[in-house]
Amino acid sequence: MNYKTQMKAAKKGIVTKEMKIVACKENMLEQELIKLVAEGKVVIPANINHKSLNPEGIGDGLRTKVNVNLGISGDSIDYCREMQKVKLAIDFGAEAIMDLSNYGKTQEFRTKLIEKSPAMIGTVPMYDAIGYLEKDLLDIKAEDFLNVVRAHAKQGVDFVTIHAGINKRTISLFKEDKRRMNIVSRGGSLLFAWMEMTGNENPFYEYYDELLEILREYDVTISLGDAMRPGCLDDSTDAGQVSELIELGLLTKRAWEKDVQVMIEGPGHMAMNEIAANMQIEKRLCHGAPFYVLGPLVTDIAPGYDHITSAIGGAIAATNGANFLCYVTPAEHLRLPDLNDVKEGVIAAKIAAHSADIANGIKGARDRDNKMADARQKLDWEEMFKIAIDGEKAKEYFESVPPESKHSCSMCGKMCAVRTTNRILNGEKVELLQNEVK
């Protein structure tokens, strides 16, 4: 191997096996893909130690991808259940799994996850720092933080969220501008606390070059985290968020110089009328790097239904430049999600991603929708269930109130518009009061 990262290979004109797979999946010419990877507009997160990986590309011109967050917490320690969530998420089409474990045997769980998962694996090393190092926050040194990143990279993690943009300049603006919800990023809040207690600069910002050397060694994509993402509508597009984004743009160029692939993380909570502009600002300030968004959630008053508020925002975001959607479940803001929450969250995010792909004219995006239309025109219910995102649920609904005729559903019965039109075009009568055989 005469290259270290996917980006380095692309810059040298080398088509890696991962690029071949991604180009095939995306109906794209290899030379078209290699150009985008070299420019940083597409990333292929593929740690050299993740042997079970089925690689995916994230970026402009590609299908919108979906990430699922899960992991062990102190209030819910069940390793088997988290692995069940992984299987369910992958079965419903999630392309990435982020292990956000912050309690217990995190290394063992992550090792098992990397061994078994064909999906990309991401982590936030900051979450794992206290448990991994067995030190309280104030006792952790800058070198310790880098050691946790090194441990994750060596294990085989494909991308890591690093909150390197929350530096002393960003914090100064955050304090001056004031916020309704302050900092809602878990990793960002921990770094903010560490910086305030120690008086030191953010270690991931101060020792960014050393961090990049670690990531380059294992070809780990850096996902530059949004520590200052808005946690409510009132805080969106403020000085803290925008100033951090400016920092992330500068850090992006430094990573590319080291041939490290970059994604940018974004909001958060945001009113619908601000989303498109935010996507364009990110692409401009961060030089076209792929954008990874949490939501955005378009209203703050729907706990229990935030998979819906997120899907609305995610569809708008992906139509206007976002490339990677982090799912949100109905349990958001309330508790750790269970299996059903994960299912609902994945499906909502996949709907948003697919809808955006259609709007963006991604090659082949409409094919499945056209097949569904053909099946509906024929009133072929079994075919509809096969094509549906969740065919099992669709079939359960259909069969819960059985129609009199199999060529309709219980909503319209014999007055089904498709049935009526098909009969007339076939030269048959439409007799609504008669018992018809067909």
| Residue-wise pLDDT tens digits, 63-93 | 999 999 998 776 666 788 899 999 999 999 9
Say what the pLDDT of residue 76 is.
64
Residue 279 contacts residue 321 (beta carbons within 8 Å): yes
Residue from 279, 276, 344, 282 nearest 309 by CA: 344
**Strands 42-43, 58-59: parallel, antiparallel or unpaired by DSSP?**
antiparallel
Say what the pLDDT of residue 432 is.
83
Q: What is the mean pLDDT of residues 20-46?
A: 98
pLDDT tens-digit series, residues 191-223: 999 999 999 999 999 999 999 999 999 999 999
Report the binding-site residues for Zn(2+): 269, 333
Report the binding-site residues for substrate: 69, 98, 127, 163, 185-187, 226-229, 265, 292
Given a cut of 80, whether residue 52 has pLDDT beyond it is yes
Pairwise pLDDT comparison (129 vs 38), residue with the higher score? 38
Residue 39 contacts residue 70 (beta carbons within 8 Å): no
Cα 41 from Cα 288, distance rounded (Å): 5
Say what the pLDDT of residue 234 is.
97
Cα 352 from Cα 288, distance rounded (Å): 21
- Count of other CB atoms within 10 angstroms of residue 191: 28
CA angle 162, 167, 173 (to 5 degrees): 125
Say what the pLDDT of residue 243 is.
96
Q: What percent of the chain has pLDDT over 90?
A: 86
Given a cut of 70, whether residue 101 has pLDDT beyond it is yes
Question: Does the global pTM surpass 0.85?
Answer: yes
Backbone angles phi, psi at 93, to 5 degrees: 100, 10
**Secondary-structure class of domain 36-359 per CATH:** alpha beta
pLDDT tens-digit series, residues 398-421: 999 988 777 788 888 888 999 899
User: What is the Cβ-side half-sphere exposure of residue 112, based on CA atoms within 13 angstroms?
Assistant: 13
Given a cut of 70, whether residue 112 has pLDDT beyond it is yes
Residue from 102, 101, 104 nearest 82 by CA: 101
What ranges do the domains of the chain cover?
A: 36-359, 401-438
Say what the pLDDT of residue 435 is.
65
Cα 70 from Cα 83, distance rounded (Å): 9
Q: What percent of the chain has pLDDT over 70?
A: 97
Average predicted confidence (pLDDT) for the chain: 94
Q: What is the mean pLDDT of residues 274-284?
A: 97
Pairwise pLDDT comparison (404 vs 57), residue with the higher score? 57
Say what the pLDDT of residue 133 is.
84
pLDDT tens-digit series, residues 140-199: 999 999 999 999 999 999 999 999 999 999 999 999 999 999 999 999 999 999 999 999
Report the binding-site residues: 69, 98, 127, 163, 185-187, 226-229, 265, 269, 292, 333, 409, 412, 416
- CA distances to 56, 57, 141, 437 from 161, in Å: 18, 17, 19, 61
Say what the pLDDT of residue 413 is.
86
Report the binding-site residues for [4Fe-4S] cluster: 409, 412, 416
Say what the pLDDT of residue 438 is.
47
Burial of 88 (0-12, 13-18, 19+ CB in 10 A): middle
Given a cut of 80, whether residue 355 has pLDDT beyond it is yes
Burial of 133 (0-12, 13-18, 19+ CB in 10 A): middle
- Count of other CB atoms within 10 angstroms of residue 102: 19
pLDDT tens-digit series, residues 364-394: 999 999 999 999 999 999 999 999 999 999 9
Q: What is the mean pLDDT of residues 114-136?
A: 91
Say what the pLDDT of residue 402 is.
85
- State both tokens at 123: 């982590």
